[in-house]
């Protein structure tokens, strides 16, 4: 999130201590990150204990809507990693309820986290000089969120709340609805120092650092269990309602490791110390996400760092479908004629179907329409580095069936350019 006047966050929290810390001695503590487009398509786990994350759906800045293109993929990948996903909206509407109405009319129908999950208003900039009008505006927003079936939360930092809002009015109507940022310092930390808790009634979550890892990452502690809202018994696989993003995440979560294919995104598990070849793995690789570049049996080649890892050492974050009934996503090394042969058609048909001026000019990531061209027998042209077992895994067929259908006596002997019937 955008944090203004961060020196206030550090300086003022040093003076308060624990007097109003909303803690029950038996209460559970839950940890998780929050992020926006700056964190990319997938959020990062800071520790293996992370259980939730909060993603920005967009914002209203000086009268301008700025949706976050990373929101749906962050929600889906978070669900796939077992995180309870929630939503926040950056709210720079000051005391203007007309703008807040426009903002919520636009974003609330687009929320991809389940009913009863948190929808937080990030109110940290743009307040007017009228404290009561600001408060009226925030209360209007929280009421709209509640009426839409979500858990309303207000994000800000203590000095801003005290300067621009009537905190008592907010917490009397919405008890324990505050998510407050306050940092001890900017050193890397993964557990809060409660001597620096921003003591104030109504706090449910504390963003205690913006530096959970080197380079920076916002990190939060849920003090009252509010991040369980929207998830039956706190289980990310059992949300109270489903959305497209949740369904995508559940699909990835339910995909077996043996079905990982090129183009899928995986996250390296915490505690993994060695690559597939036994060489030591740098600790910074843990919890990072990578696209699968190649598959060979139970080993995966991770894009970007081009290293092989055992499939058992990753979590599936998102899955792609290179082959579908309607489209094919072009991979590096593909040709239009090769794709056509795979679907039992001709390159001229694909050229005409996709309106391609030059059949020799296609590029990785391009979506090629193949609807109505699928034949009973699909084919695959072997690329350099392919293995028969890797091809079998990629297309969900048994390696020995694949060998038999193609009259291959030695499963270790295939060659680039060879056409295989799938």
Residue 393 lies in a domain: no
Pair 158, 288 in one domain: no
- Taking CA atoms, 71 is separated from 41, 54, 119, 246, in Å, by 7, 10, 13, 12
Q: How many domains in the chain? A: 2
CA dist., res. 410 & res. 422, Å (int): 17
Looking at residue 349, what is its pLDDT? 81
Pair 50, 164 in one domain: yes
Of 28, 23, 22, 103, nearest in space to 62 by CA: 103
Pair 63, 26 in one domain: yes
Residue 156 lies in a domain: yes
Pair 162, 294 in one domain: no
Domain end marker among 230, 247, 264? 247
Pair 268, 152 in one domain: no
Beta strand 151-157 pairing with 118-122: parallel
DSSP state letter for 42 = S
* Backbone Cα Rg of the chain: 25
Strand partners, 90: 59, 122
Looking at residue 27, what is its pLDDT? 53
CA dist., res. 359 & res. 367, Å (int): 14
Q: Is 401 exposed, middle or buried (0-12, 13-18, 19+ CB in 10 A)?
A: exposed
The separation between CA 402 and the C-alpha centre of its own chain, rounded to angstroms, equals 36
Looking at residue 154, what is its pLDDT? 98
CATH number at 297 reads 2.30.30
Pair 186, 285 in one domain: no
Pair 279, 148 in one domain: no
Q: How wide is the angle at C-alpha 209 spanned by C-alphas 91 and 172, nearest 5°?
A: 50
Residue 231 lies in a domain: yes
383 phi and psi angles, rounded to 5 deg: -100, 160
Pair 228, 107 in one domain: yes
Task: Count Cα neighbours of 225 within 13 Å in the Cβ-side half-sphere.
Answer: 10
Looking at residue 393, what is its pLDDT? 64
Please check whether residue 80 is in contact with residue 86, taking contact to mean a CB–CB distance below 8 angstroms: no
Residue 302 lies in a domain: yes
Pair 276, 208 in one domain: no
CA dist., res. 334 & res. 357, Å (int): 17
Q: Which domain holds residue 278?
A: 255-318
Pair 125, 193 in one domain: yes
Domain end marker among 208, 228, 247? 247
Residue 327 lies in a domain: no
Residue 107 lies in a domain: yes
Residue 153 lies in a domain: yes
Domain end marker among 247, 279, 304? 247
Pair 22, 147 in one domain: yes
Looking at residue 395, what is its pLDDT? 63
CATH number at 23 reads 3.20.20.80
CA dist., res. 379 & res. 418, Å (int): 10
Pair 163, 267 in one domain: no
Residue 294 lies in a domain: yes
- Block means of pLDDT (10 residues each) for the chain, 422 residues, are 46 44 58 93 92 95 86 93 96 95 94 97 96 98 97 97 97 97 94 93 96 92 96 89 87 82 88 91 87 86 88 88 59 78 72 84 80 52 81 68 80 84 72
The separation between CA 158 and the C-alpha centre of its own chain, rounded to angstroms, equals 28
DSSP secondary structure of 217-284: B-EEEESSSGGGTTBGGG-TTSBSS--HHHHHHHHHHTS-GGG--TT-EEEEPTT--B-TTSPBPPGG
Tell me the torsion sign for CA atoms 204, 206, 212, 216. Answer: positive
Size (the chain), residues: 422
């Amino acid at each position: 999130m955008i944090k203004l006047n961060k020196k206030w966050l550090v300086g003022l929290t040093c003076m308060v201590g624990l007097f109003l810390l909303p803690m029950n001695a038996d209460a559970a503590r839950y940890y998780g990150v929050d992020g926006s487009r700056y964190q990319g398509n997938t959020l990062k786990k800071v520790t293996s204990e992370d259980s939730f994350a909060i993603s920005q759906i967009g914002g209203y800045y000086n009268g301008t809507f700025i949706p976050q293109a990373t929101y749906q993929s962050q929600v889906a990948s978070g669900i796939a990693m077992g995180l309870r996903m929630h939503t926040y909206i950056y709210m720079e509407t000051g005391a203007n309820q007309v703008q807040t109405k426009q903002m919520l009319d636009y974003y609330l129908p687009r929320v991809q986290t389940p009913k009863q999950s948190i929808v937080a208003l990030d109110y940290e900039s743009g307040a007017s000089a009228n404290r009561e009008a600001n408060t009226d505006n925030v209360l209007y927003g929280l009421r709209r969120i509640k009426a839409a079936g979500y858990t309303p939360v207000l994000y800000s930092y203590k000095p801003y709340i005290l300067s621009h809002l009537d905190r008592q009015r907010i917490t009397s109507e919405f008890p324990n609805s505050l998510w407050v940022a306050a940092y001890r310092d900017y050193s890397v930390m993964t557990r809060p120092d409660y001597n620096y808790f921003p003591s104030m009634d109504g706090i449910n979550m504390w963003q205690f650092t913006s530096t959970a890892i080197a380079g920076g990452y916002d990190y939060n502690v849920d003090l009252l269990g509010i991040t369980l809202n929207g998830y039956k018994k706190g289980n990310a696989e059992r949300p109270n309602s489903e959305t497209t993003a949740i369904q995508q995440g559940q699909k990835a979560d339910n995909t077996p490791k043996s079905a990982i294919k090129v183009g899928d995104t995986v996250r390296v598990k915490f505690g993994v110390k060695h690559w597939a070849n036994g060489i030591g793995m740098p600790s910074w690789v843990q919890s990072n996400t990578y696209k699968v570049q190649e598959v060979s049996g139970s080993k995966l080649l991770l894009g970007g760092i081009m290293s092989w890892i055992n499939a058992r050492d990753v979590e599936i974050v998102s899955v792609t479908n290179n082959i579908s009934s309607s489209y094919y996503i072009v991979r590096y090394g593909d040709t239009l004629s090769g794709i056509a042969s795979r679907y039992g058609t001709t390159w001229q048909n694909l050229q005409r179907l996709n309106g391609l001026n030059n059949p020799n000019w296609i590029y990785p990531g391009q979506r090629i329409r193949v609807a109505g061209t699928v034949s009973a027998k699909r084919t695959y042209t072997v690329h350099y580095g392919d293995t028969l077992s890797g091809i079998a895994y990629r297309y969900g067929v048994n390696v020995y069936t694949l060998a038999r259908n193609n009259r291959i006596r030695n499963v270790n002997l295939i060659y680039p350019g060879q056409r295989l019937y799938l």
